Chains A and B, each alone.
Chain A
Amino acid sequence: MNDLQLPFRIVIGLEVHVQLATQTKLFCRCSTLFGQPPNTQVCPVCLGLPGALPVLNQSAIGLAARVGSALHCELASFTKWDRKNYFYPDLPKGYQTSQYDLPICMGGYLEIPSSPDPSQGTAPSVLKRIRLVRAHLEEDAGKSMHDERSRTADTRIDLNRAGTPLLEIVTEPDLSSAAEAKEFLSELRLMMVYLGVTDGNMQEGSLRADANVNLHFQRGPETLATPIVEIKNLNSFRAVERAIHFEVDRQQREFLRTGLVKGKAPKQTRGWDEALGQTELQREKEEEADYRYFPCPDLVPVVLSQQQKDTAERESLDAPARYRDLLIATHHLKDSDTEILVQQGRTTVAYFLSMVNAGAAAKRACSWMLQDVLRYLNDRNRTILDYPVAAQTLASLLSAIESGRIDTSQAKQALTQLLEHPDWTVDAAIDSLGIVRVESDAMEALCIELLAENPDVIEKVRAGNTKAVAALVGQAKKRNRNADPRVIQEICLRKISEL
């Protein structure tokens, strides 16, 4: 068989760095707030000044354990800190405090919707389990800013970020497409945000990924693996997808040109250039860099108690899966609607659930959420926490539709009023529209009157054109502006059938 037609599999493993949402850094009490002036959130400890010593921020342990529990990892009872030694200007101590052989989380997995694979005939709704190798805590480095404008090409260092807690989550090479890698990251981010362990803000670097990619060509019984390439610093879902696509094409071309397989060519580290849309060689290494890991003598090992593990287990329940189950199984929402709500985040789902608890019908509540609430928020780039109308208020508005007191278009007008006057009650909003509740007797009388005046409509309906009653709605509205179109149509049809 010609090599050009060799089938191949894509093999991807991810290393994801999640910035944990602690108030202070991992080993000192400096703030982790993003976007402050350079080098203002620093102290002797995170500057690595002579004589300074680290002290563990225990809340990072709690957050890491919560993640580990949600990802079905084994939580270590005994974990310790190791120094990873290397020189770089954004690493002021000359070593990074990390976890080497006893990480806080071992194993585990995350399930993602499997990407449809025609050759396997996989249905899109099937979940694929992506296994994890481990997750460990470490401190972030500072930021190097290369000043390209200056003629000397100065590099400026901002150490505000140095010492921020990171959880590094390492997957097995279980991902088999760029789409899956993106799906994994997206699901992982969603979970982290639900668990409240990170703000998940990718523009601010709260979630960063490196991807290890290679191809497995199948030549008869023989599997030929291309050299593994590590793509660094993928800071958006789009970058992950594009970089892997690019890399798969590049490796395929490279393999067909050179035939080089893993072990015959050095492992490469490549950087993703978003602007150029390509990966570029950063370094090639024949062997792993020697970081001379050894236990940090300045820190004591961490012992995770059963109580801490139980707490982590309890806190880990607030993951997206729980809400998907609840919306689909208990409230019978459609999968696609559920997904839209769940993707909005836990507070949005909570808003929906509050509406239902306040008596709104789940389906109507869902459709109002999707069509009105989310549109309002998206248009204004706001979150549900900023939505002016309380869930209970919106719920009682929907109940007014349910009971026939107002129709949908009136309800929408009332909602507009409520959005402008958040302190109003639903009754006040309805009243402001001049809507008064019309007694059903009055409606019956109106319909009898209209039918008597419009015998042609009766004829048309009898001939099978039930929609002809719509002509009466406009007339009804003219005589009584509070007439509910749905009610008018119902009564008229009933009267015709009774005639």
Chain B
Amino acid sequence: MFDQRFSIDGARHLLAQGEISSRELVSFFTERTERWNPGLRAYVWQDSQSALDAANVCDEQRASGHALPPLHGIPIAIKDILCTRSGPTTCGSKMLEQFVSPYDAHVVERLHAAGAILIGKTNLDEFAMGGSTESSVFGPSHNPWDLSRTCGGSSGGSAASVAAALAPAAIGTDTGGSIRQPAAFCGVCGIKPTYGRVSRYGLVAYGSSLDVAGVFAHTATDMSIVLQAIAGHDPRDSTSLTAPVPSYSEALRAPPKPIRIGIVREHLDSPGLDPELRDALLQAIEVYRSMGATIVEVPLPHSQYCIPTYYIIAPCEASSNLARYDGAHFGFRAPSRRSSGVSTDTPLDAMYQSTRTQGFGEEVKRRILLGTYALSAGYYDAYYVKALRVRRLIRQDYDAAFASVDVLLGPTTPTPAFRLGEKLNDPLQMYLEDLFTVGANLAGIPAVSIPVGQSKAGLPLGMQLQAPALHEGTLLAVAQAYQTETGYSPSIPSAYAATDA
């Protein structure tokens, strides 16, 4: 049974009716978290007392009868790569294990302004580099549907927190699929907005031209409420878009128009695609067709180059973005030691080397090396410049596709959640997880992943919808149409469904 308190829309209703107080709502989730988080490791930091204090304030405000903002009194979890003044901002790295940001990220400011209560910070792959949260210095998060499996990554903790109902919604970030893949693995909804729709100010950079913050929730409606709160122009981010933010709830209320859905044959026929997942997608296509949608096959001729392009551009940007973690000014610094004995090594070089050797994990170091190599003199044109050219072609593919369809429908991931440890020693296999998701990041377009059933083994299956830039409203409406048509009700793994403490 899906408790009303598990969703934002439900909780809002209960709060408005006076059936529950914000304090009760927050303690409901903090108690659940105390009980379940040790086994899931969805959160890496929590401060129940601060959350309860904030809830008390909310309850007083509600009692005073003032008009209340849209997320008033509702707890929300935040991926620990967004800067918050309360609690540490670790990025899942030893490098920032003790780091406390002196400022709040734009997204956090907006959530506060919307009345939301920060309930905790969630686990992630180190600096958002990975697809399983296994590169986190805190250890991996576990998938609530099967603890032996990954909840995906890099925003795995956020996905797990929503999937196990330890928070009604969570903020994640998506550079190559880091919201959509964990959403698919954990059976929740996730939206990656258009690049620049949500300010990156205070989002610790991984791949600056790809990073964007987005939302995990149980329904299209819940995603729309949170996205509405965090989207919009921010002058502190030069790449933030100035276009006004439409009303997403209106987009959801608008009567469904006959939509044109594009499918990419090579993706659906991809040999690596799990057969159960393929069947679920084909059924979803039929659902849309029965609703009057037109199904059109469209080509994305350069999609085979998405992974190599992404794994040049993102590491190149990362190699520069992560240069600031050198032990000099903040974060981890390795205890001083004698220089390595290499004659050119100064004590400063030795400090840099040992700090970065000890402070970063394997995956982060791998990507820094990849990016440093690809930007080096003599390789720059062959790698980085070429990758930028291919990126332009990939964008043009999407432009061409969206000339004839409203959304693209396909798999979010090739398979359901894999086992923890399964791909740890095979980075290439791990990178292929991003096969269907990185295209949207390279093109800067919005995309969602929504649950599309379960495998026979009881693992969630995810469907990805992509739309042209700034068409988040379309995506949410198309996602909701599916959920309405199929009578979708969010489900919580039975182990976590109990609502009595």
Contact = CB atoms under 8 A, between A and B. Distances in A.
B211 to A, nearest CB: 9
A85 B323 contact: yes
Interface stretch (A180-188, A190-198, A294-302): A294-302
Contact of A94 (B102, B103, B238, B326): B326
Given A48-B329, A87-B352, A92-B329, A53 B201 contact: yes
B32 interface: no
A83 interface: yes
Given A44-B103, A55-B236, A93 B376 contact: no
A300 B235 CA distance: 13
B239 A50 contact: no
Contacts of A49: 101-103, 330
Given A44-B103, A53-B200, A297 B208 contact: yes
A157 B327 CA distance: 13
Given A49-B101, A53-B237, A83 B96 contact: no
Given A53-B236, A298-B239, A300-B239, A85 B320 contact: yes
A51 B204 contact: yes
A377 interface: no
Interface in A309-364: none
A432 B375 CA distance: 78
Interface string B91-106: 1000010010111010
B82 interface: yes
B44 to A, nearest CB: 16
Contacts, number: 96
B376 A50 contact: no
Interface size class of B (residues with CB under 8 A): 35 or more
A132 to B, nearest CB: 25
A51 B205 contact: yes
Nearest to A86: B323
A53 B377 CA distance: 27
Contacts of B82: 51
A149 interface: no
A107 interface: no
B152 interface: no
A98 to B, nearest CB: 13
Contacts of B203: 51
B239 A292 contact: no
A338 B200 CA distance: 56
A323 B316 CA distance: 51
A94 B372 CA distance: 13
Contact of A292 (B205, B237, B324, B375): B375
B201 A47 contact: no
Interface in B72-126: 82-83, 89, 91, 96, 99, 101-103, 105
B209 interface: yes
B380 interface: yes
A98 B204 CA distance: 22
Interface in B210-254: 235-239
Contacts of A299: 238
Interface residues of A, number: 29
Interface in B292-349: 316-317, 319-320, 322-324, 326, 328-330, 348
Contact of B380 (A48, A53, A94, A294): A294
Nearest to A47: B329
Contacts of B105: 51
Nearest to A92: B329
A368 interface: no
Contacts of A52: 201-202
B320 A55 contact: no
A300 B324 CA distance: 21
A50 B207 CA distance: 13
A48 B324 contact: yes
B145 interface: no
B384 interface: yes
B238 A290 contact: no
A50 to B, nearest CB: 4
A294 B208 CA distance: 13
A56 B238 CA distance: 8
A51 B320 contact: no
B201 A93 contact: no
Nearest to A85: B320
B346 to A, nearest CB: 11
Interface in A14-50: 44, 47-50
A297 B197 CA distance: 16
Contacts of B372: 292
B168 to A, nearest CB: 25
Contacts of A292: 319-320, 372, 375-377, 380
A89 interface: yes
Contact of B83 (A48, A50, A55, A94): A50
Contacts of A44: 101-103
A485 interface: no
A299 B103 CA distance: 21
Interface in B186-204: 200-204
A190 B377 CA distance: 39
B320 A50 contact: no
A95 interface: yes
Given A51-B101, A94-B320, A94-B324, A297 B204 contact: no
Contacts of B89: 50-51
Nearest to A56: B238
A93 B319 CA distance: 12
Given A85-B319, A89-B328, A292-B372, 9 more contacts: A47-B329, A50-B205, A52-B202, A89-B329, A157-B328, A294-B384, A298-B239, A300-B238, A300-B239
Top 7 nearest A-B pairs (CB, nearest first) are A94-B323, A297-B208, A292-B375, A297-B209, A51-B202, A50-B204, A51-B83
19 contacts: A47-B329, A50-B101, A51-B200, A51-B202, A53-B200, A53-B238, A55-B235, A55-B237, A55-B238, A56-B238, A94-B320, A94-B323, A95-B320, A157-B328, A290-B377, A292-B319, A292-B380, A297-B208, A300-B239
